[in-house]
Amino acid sequence: MKLHTIHLNVNDEEQKVTVRSGDTLLYTIREQLGLTGAKPGCLNGDCGACTIQVDGWPMKSCLMMAVEAEGKQITTIEGLNNTPIQEAFVHHFAFQCGYCTPGFIMNGHSLIQKKPDADDSTIKEWLESNICRCTSYIEIEKAIKFALGKNKPSS
């Protein structure tokens, strides 16, 4: 058993954890830090349910080991509070069962921050990283566009 004691910056808090080399970041934030917003789905980088933010970019936390995340700024769905994208998801009822929602929101939140002027093709490209088995795609797209509009400085 290869153990590492590392410091992770999660939601602006410094956390000390002891992890195995092969522990995914998803496992660590859920089971060690109790942040269960990021969801285990495919565990293979396909579905996006475990998406979090690392240094401002979306990241599938099943595709990252905890040891790789040392020194990075990690944000999980628990780190968001009344952001435009959260309000937009509620406003447009952009979910059914809700399992994929944290992943979509984290991806959408990153999109708004990194590409505030995203056009339709950029929105589509980013959203293709996540899967919604309830097929709420239309509502999700509306929510993202609503949040993008809301995010733009008023002229």
- Helix axis angle for 120-127 and 137-151, nearest 10°, is 130
31 binds other proteins (CB under 8 A): yes
C-beta of 7: minimal distance to other proteins in Å? Answer: 14
Site string for other proteins, 11-30 (x = CB under 8 A): ---------xxxxx-xx--x
* Residue in 41, 114, 19, 40 with CA at minimum distance from that of residue 8: 19
Q: Of the candidates 4, 72, 142, 150, which one interacts with other proteins according to CB under 8 A?
A: 4
C-beta of 68: minimal distance to other proteins in Å? Answer: 7
CB count, 10 Å around CB of 90? 10
C-beta of 71: minimal distance to other proteins in Å? Answer: 10
Cα dihedral sign for 46, 47, 52, 53? Answer: positive
Cα dihedral sign for 45, 77, 5, 7? Answer: positive
Nearest residue (CB) to other proteins, 53 versus 86: 53
The DSSP element (H or E) to which 120 belongs, if any, is helix 120-127
Q: Of the candidates 8, 62, 88, 105, which one interacts with other proteins according to CB under 8 A?
A: 62
C-beta of 100: minimal distance to other proteins in Å? Answer: 13
Side by side, which strands form the sheet with 73-75?
Answer: 13-20, 3-10, 73-75, 51-54, 57-60
Residues 105-134 that bind other proteins (CB under 8 A): 107, 125-126, 128-130
Given the DSSP bridges, would you call strands 51-54 and 73-75 parallel, antiparallel or unpaired?
A: antiparallel
The footprint of other proteins (CB under 8 A) covers 1-2, 4, 20-24, 26-27, 30-31, 40, 43-45, 48, 51, 57-60, 62-65, 67-68, 107, 125-126, 128-130
